[in-house]
Amino acid sequence: MTLPAPVNKINIQVPTKIVMMGASLPMSFTAQDAYTNTIGQVVEKYTITAQTGTIAGLTSMDFSDFSNGNILYQAPEKISENLPVTISISGTNQDGKLIS
């Protein structure tokens, strides 16, 4: 059994890049170390933030369980034009390296 190294990269998977006004979009997240090993649970917290819309009803939330990294994004209800959706993840790994 090999223990993974600290988080080096976080991947976001979405089924589509277009979301209708007021619609929901499931997203999943995976974490990898520098050797591309998948990481499940980590000690440190990472923050996911939505610039428009919400994630699980919030504009930002902390998480550390990548083995259950499924989150529901909710697009804004009333918008006057097409808006880009920016979802960001950031945190500091066990080695003190900023991951974003």
- 49 is written with which tokens? 């933030």
What pLDDT, on the 0 to 100 scale, is given for residue 70?
86
Give the residue among 43, 46, 44 at the shortest CA–CA distance from 10. 46
Q: What local confidence, expressed as pLDDT, does residue 1 receive?
A: 64
- Region 73-91 average pLDDT: 83
pLDDT at 47 over 90: yes
Q: How far apart are CA 93 and CA 90, in angstroms?
A: 10
For residue range 52-75, what is the model confidence (pLDDT) as tens digits? 889 988 999 998 888 887 889 998
pLDDT above 90 (res 33) = yes
pLDDT of residue 56: 84
- Asked whether residue 83 carries a pLDDT value surpassing 80, the answer given is no
Of 85 and 94, the one with more pLDDT? 94
The answer to whether residues 49 and 20 touch, using CB atoms and an 8 Å cutoff, is no
| Averaged confidence pLDDT in the chain | 87
